[in-house]
Structure 1
Amino acid sequence: MTETIDSERRDSAVAPAEHLRRSMAAVRLSFTWLGVRKTLSPQQRDQAADSFGAEGKFLSAGKKLLDTSHPAFKAVTAVKGRAAAFWKGISLPYPEPGLRLLRQSDIGPFDQRMEQFRAELAEAVAKLDEHYDELRAAARERLGDLYCAADYPTTLVGLFAIEHEFPAVDPPDYLRRLQPELYRQEADRVRARFQEAVRLAEQAFTEELAKLVDHLSERLQGDVDGKPKVFRDSAVTNLTEFFARFQSLSVGSDEQLEELVARARDVMQGIAPQQLREDQSTRQQVARQISAVQASLDQLMVDRPRRNLIRRPR
């Protein structure tokens, strides 16, 4: 009887993993980015150490080449942030650094959006380059004797890039013919990684939902100086966006999590931020219901380590 139960548990963990392997593609997003910090030369480091009566070899020091708080530089950095956020928002984690899992049906839209980000980046870099002389002049003034013209390229165009690729994660088929045993080992390793990907997805969704619910609950309860706490629209809209992403990406591997997401969605159904600010009875009702979801989430997160031990493949 015990063996049957253990077998069912392993099957329930493998099925979502196999679904991920068949329906998802691994995607890597990478950035080429201008470095704006540089380590001081040994001579400069020794000179800096002397001012503190220290030995240069025990001192680590660097200089900032450009002012990254300049609006034109911040615009370039913002494109990078939006691209990374889009990549993470449309995909699931994978237990290999730099890789995430994207639905195969989303490959086309993802590729198009990355092309848009590349165009936005090129435009932002071109505008930054227009301010490059100004930025170098400011650096020369601020760095003093530490300024070195050789640290600065002639132009910033071409020094920033966004790239993506879809690397294969399954073992190559030729390995099956040439080294069957090695192929089997690699196939086992890939299956284990996708089982881990399922666990990582569950964990990421649970933690994100808990964070969003905790924030909304905290904003709805209590008051400040006798007035209800003020909260931004994002306290509600972020939850709505989470529900849509969960529906799109969930692999259906955790019934408890599915139930809690459904409960939270029901609580927030038809609720607008302004309604929570103006209607006290609605505010209290939502606060009470979302607190119940919050308590269940807290319990799920306590129980999850034990569940992971049960489901972890042997």
Structure 2
Amino acid sequence: MTSVLDEPRSLASTSASDRLRSTMAAARLSFNWLGVRKSLTSEQKTQAADSFDAESKYLSASKKLIDTTHPVFKAVTSVRSRAVSYWKTVSLPYPEPGLRLIKREIIGDFNKQMEVFRDELAIAVSELDLHFAEMREAARVRLGDLFDVSDYPATLVDEFAITHDFPAVEPPNYLRQLNPEVYESECRRVQSRFVEAVELAEQAFLEELAKLVEHLTERIAGQEDGKPKVFRDTAVTNLNEFFDRFRSLNIGSNEQLDQLVSQARAAVNGIGPQELRTSEQLRQSVSTRMVAVQAGLDQLLVDRPRRNIQRRPR
């Protein structure tokens, strides 16, 4: 049962979900990627099990086909990592596996950046393909009798790909006339998804800010051997990047969160990492203000209703 005290929050969430629904699009990032491991055959598992006096059906075993630590292979996986990072940076979570929400106004920029990643991937894969024969021969030596040339494609050119699309999350219009009752049911389902998306966005922002604030506070307030702890520039720059992303993606669904982000931004506004390293007074000032922010974040995290809407990373 919803209490009177719950109504303002509920209305704010509904308004935010409507804004999400009218301004955002679902974006999906997909990959075609070379498998680098392969399960052993039944005969190979039986042979492995015999060496341990075990039953093969209770044994799970695979072989690694190529050296994934090779620089040219790492260059390929780096492109994928950067594509995923970009996708997540410009988007908000959505409670459907593999989907995130991006602003409709940046779809053009998103398309262009994906093309950049595809071009980079093609170059990296071409370089990997030049070394593929030697990497396969190295695997022959490492795998011994487990090596099977048929496990490997003739070329790697078509074994890697990055694709993206913008799947529809709204109910199709044809349902409105074919079956109005089903259409209305689908509209309610989609609306509930966007309400969940608001909550997921708030949770993600809260947890990320809390982690960044805690890290910076711990580094600038603590000491090691009577001296201030050493901290990397990223302790500050990551916070500033968060502020930029929050400003871009914030949907105004939580006034308390907005206020805490503003307090954290004001605490480090215009302050560089080197200034914090050289000024004890500045460290104390920032630390005091960040501790207050941290307390507010902790309370907000505790007060948030716990709903089972967490899903695997997208």
Interval containing the TM-score (normalised by the shorter chain): over 0.9
Normalising by structure 2, we get a TM-score of 0.95
- Counterpart Cα distance in 2 of 1:173 and 1:129: 47
After superposition, residues 236-255 of structure 1 pair within 5 angstroms as 236-255=236-255
Give the CA RMSD over aligned residues.
1.4
How far did 1:8 drift? 4.5
Identity rate, percent: 61
How far did 1:88 drift? 0.3
Counterpart residue identity of residue 221, structure 2: Q
Q: In the alignment, what sits opposite 1:262?
A: 262
Correspondence 1:234 to 2:228: no
- Counterpart Cα distance in 2 of 1:17 and 1:258: 17
SS of the aligned residue for 1:305 comes to coil
- Counterpart Cα distance in 2 of 1:213 and 1:51: 52
Q: In the alignment, what sits opposite 1:139?
A: 139
Counterpart residue identity of residue 129, structure 2: D
Gap regions ≥5 residues in structure 1: 310-314
Q: In the alignment, what sits opposite 2:76?
A: 76
How far did 1:6 drift? 5.5
How far did 1:120 drift? 0.3
Deviation per CA, 1:87-125, whole angstroms, max 9, x where unpaired? 000000000000000000110101000000000000000
Q: How many residues align?
A: 307
After superposition, residues 292-303 of structure 1 pair within 5 angstroms as 292-303=292-303
Correspondence 1:200 to 2:200: yes
Correspondence 1:279 to 2:279: yes
Deviation per CA, 1:186-222, whole angstroms, max 9, x where unpaired? 0000000000000000000000000000100110112
SS of the aligned residue for 2:305 comes to helix
Deviation per CA, 1:2-50, whole angstroms, max 9, x where unpaired? 8766554432221100100000000000010000000000000001111
Select between 201-210 and 52-61 the one with higher mean Cα deviation. Answer: 52-61
Change (3 A) 1:49 1:5: closer
- Counterpart Cα distance in 2 of 1:243 and 1:191: 28
Counterpart residue identity of residue 212, structure 2: L
SS of the aligned residue for 1:162 comes to strand
Q: In the alignment, what sits opposite 2:108?
A: 108
Normalising by structure 1, we get a TM-score of 0.95
How far did 1:73 drift? 0.3
After superposition, residues 1-150 of structure 1 pair within 5 angstroms as 8-150=8-150
Counterpart residue identity of residue 163, structure 1: T
Select between 7-16 and 142-151 the one with higher mean Cα deviation. Answer: 7-16
- Counterpart Cα distance in 2 of 1:200 and 1:60: 36
SS of the aligned residue for 2:164 comes to strand
- Counterpart Cα distance in 2 of 1:5 and 1:88: 34
Gap regions ≥5 residues in structure 2: 309-314
Change (3 A) 1:292 1:3: closer
- Counterpart Cα distance in 1 of 2:206 and 2:10: 21
SS of the aligned residue for 1:290 comes to helix
